[in-house]
Chains A and B, each alone.
Chain A
């Protein structure tokens, strides 16, 4: 794989997102944070920080997920639909390189978006608390976990985008996202069942579905609890592995697709 070609395609994908005014969602995030910071000062006693952290991280997660899904499902499909792909694939670009470039382009967009929203969250924390505390470092871990989730979601959306329409891709990605949030509950449900086939099925689903539940530390970091290093390492490795498998699947589907 030619890393330079991947970087060129990734940069253009990021540029497309910026030109399409995707980062305008930051304005809504900023307004939300400013309003929340002003309001909690008036209505809550002693829990301003908790509210700001919960609200801020939830907003970063929702805004990022919406962006990952809706941009992700169009990453390849839009290129096919608009036939920009015809010129791209007539260049010395392998289909695998194209897929990797599109993925990293959206990953850069999400990274910039998440970073800027994090700056907004920290500013709001500074406003309500007057200072940053040691436990705020855990908030950064929360942000990192949200970003890992977005990387997973992007991979899934991109894989769908290689063979399905945007509507089907959106439904599929959101379906997997919801199922992934509850994957622990699915396994628990299976263990409560006395049917061995059901147990095998739920165990299989637990391992195959993306486990989004393990990334949710918003409540813990809101209460100032630190996140264990093992969980950080585990989630990072899990994301890298899952994204790699997803991208290999996406590249395999895309490499065998006729561009009618």
Chain B
């Protein structure tokens, strides 16, 4: 049984002041997320990622279709005991200290033990700031607090909406580590992001959403091994000279080294040419599509399909 499942999940928002027009934010989303997966939900701004999360959290109601978490409909509030949620750019009760706020959220699950609260604050590195009001927290600290409130009740499934957004490299690393820890503990993590390297590092599978439609789902490994674009050859020329005109088209220079990206069929010819030039080959590796390229291909495809369809949703 999938941990998260959506079937033809669709959401229209009514826009306009006097006359209301439906605007489709999410269109027939079919998705399954399995136990103990780190599932990345990718898409550009306005793709429908946050709408999907809001539908799963029962914050907004679907126009049509359905969604279940742990086999129960998303409208079942008691199921929320087993899930945790970190919204995008979270805002909490800023008149409370971190300890008071986390204690408040813990009490909603019947947890009254201060030791539990302190343990989770320590886990996200907020022990020293535990008696500081949240209004004095930096964005990164708020994000870390947000993670603590999402996991304080030991949930089976954790939903994170753009958990790395606005964080500095250290903060991003900490959040990444925490997500990996949660996976090790056997939890399922569903997170939306547009920071692709994070998705590459963390996800077992990713889904790409654009213009409210699912463009593709697959494991990160599958995407990387789908095709080889070419071969990258790094080399140095004797005496630091410039490459001849026939090579110059495919070469870029960084310091004293050159990088040539050539098609698989041209690899041997290029090596022969480098041998003639008495070049020293420093490195050679396959060039595979990055997640970003895969992502952009799908998003561009969605944009072109929309234009071909006359701009209608």
Contact = CB atoms under 8 A, between A and B. Distances in A.
B59 A91 contact: no
A16 B95 contact: yes
A28 interface: no
A26 interface: no
Contact of A94 (B54, B77, B90, B107): B77
Interface residues of A, number: 25
Given A91-B105, A92-B77, A92-B81, A84 B110 contact: no
A249 B140 CA distance: 40
Contacts of A259: 54, 59-60
A248 to B, nearest CB: 18
A20 B95 CA distance: 8
Interface string A82-101: 11111111111110000000
Interface residues of B, number: 31
Contacts of A92: 77-78, 80-81, 108-109
B77 A258 contact: no
Given A16-B93, A259-B54, A259-B59, A83 B87 contact: yes
Interface in A5-36: 5, 8, 12, 15-16, 19-20
Contacts of B104: 8, 12
Nearest to B89: A83
A19 B95 contact: yes
A84 B59 contact: no
Contacts of B235: none
B83 A90 contact: yes
B92 interface: yes
A89 B59 contact: yes
Given A12-B93, A19-B95, A20-B95, A90 B110 contact: no
Interface in A65-96: 82-94
Interface string B85-120: 101011111011000000011011110000000000
A90 B109 contact: no
Contacts of B91: 82-84
Given A20-B95, A86-B85, A87-B92, A8 B108 contact: yes
Given A259-B54, A260-B60, A90 B95 contact: no
Nearest to B56: A90
Nearest to A97: B77
B84 interface: yes
B57 interface: yes
Interface in B144-168: 146, 149, 159
A91 B90 contact: no
B137 interface: no
Interface string A113-136: 000000000000000000000000
B13 interface: yes
A97 B170 CA distance: 39
Contact of A89 (B57, B96, B109): B57
B61 A258 contact: yes
Nearest to B80: A92
Contacts of B108: 5, 8, 88, 91-93
B58 interface: yes
B107 A93 contact: no
A83 B93 CA distance: 10
A4 interface: yes
A228 B298 CA distance: 77
Given A259-B59, A259-B60, 11 more contacts: A4-B110, A20-B95, A84-B92, A84-B93, A86-B59, A87-B149, A90-B83, A90-B84, A90-B159, A92-B77, A92-B80
21 contacts: A8-B107, A20-B95, A83-B90, A83-B91, A84-B92, A84-B93, A86-B87, A86-B90, A89-B57, A89-B58, A90-B57, A90-B59, A90-B84, A90-B87, A90-B159, A92-B81, A93-B77, A93-B80, A258-B59, A259-B54, A260-B60
Interface of A: 4-5, 8, 12, 15-16, 19-20, 82-94, 256, 258-260
Interface of B: 13, 54, 57-61, 77-78, 80-81, 83-85, 87, 89-93, 95-96, 104-105, 107-110, 146, 149, 159
